[in-house]
Amino acid sequence: MTEKHIFFQSGALRLEGLLERMPGEQVMVMAHPHPLYGGNMHNPVVAAVLSAYLRKGYSTLRFNFRGVGQSEGQYDEGIGEQEDVRSALTFLAEQGLTRFDLGGYSFGAWVCAAGLKSWTQVQRFGMVSPPVAFMSFDFFSFDKRVAWIIGAESDDIAPPVMIREQIPLWNPDVIFKVIKGSDHFYGGRAQEIETLVGAFLEKSDYDSSNASRPEEKTG
């Protein structure tokens, strides 16, 4: 990845990020885990998801929430962090990008889920280990844009059994994959995450591009 170190505004705060531009108007924004537990944009899970999107020709943006790294401000219990995501989307729109995928890992998934209803420009939303045993998702109702979820078999913060209970409420058609033998931190499993996300994109982008085409026959 040859990302450019950038800064953008979130209200009065200046946030830092890493932006990789590709041809076209499609972009993936990925939000990092909990700032109070060491989460930042350099997390390997965040990087793995973005690498999968980059391989499919998407521009990518990861950024530090307020109070993390060189981003100004301080932790705001997920409220100000929603504004940070909104500001990231606005920043990208100002760069001419128009097709938005959004993703989050752990706390980042919760932040994005909390703001998703108001971010109508987002076309698809993916989550890695939404922390259903740690933070309430009671606010999160059906949204067809919830496209993919990745979980870990031994994740006590985002137990797969609890995620499965929520899927009918979020989007029964979501693609949910569980990485066996892994926990919430996915140590050494980044490549598997990249592969799973890449497989989702391979199928969904193909389906989208062929949705209005007549079936081709051979022979």
Q: Which domains does the chain have, with CATH numbers?
A: 4-210 (3.40.50.1820)
* CA 101, chain centre distance (Å): 7
pTM value? 0.93
In which band, very low, low, confident or very high, does the pLDDT at 207 lie, cut at 50, 70 and 90?
low
Residue 8 has a pLDDT of 99
The whole-angstrom separation of Cα 79 and Cα 116 is: 13
The whole-angstrom separation of Cα 130 and Cα 111 is: 10
Between residues 10 and 214, which one has the greater pLDDT?
10
Residue-wise pLDDT tens digits, 49-62: 999 999 999 999 99
Residue 205 has a pLDDT of 76
Residue 212 has a pLDDT of 38
Question: SS3 of 137, please?
Answer: coil
Range of lowest pLDDT (71-75, 99-103, 131-135, 201-205): 201-205
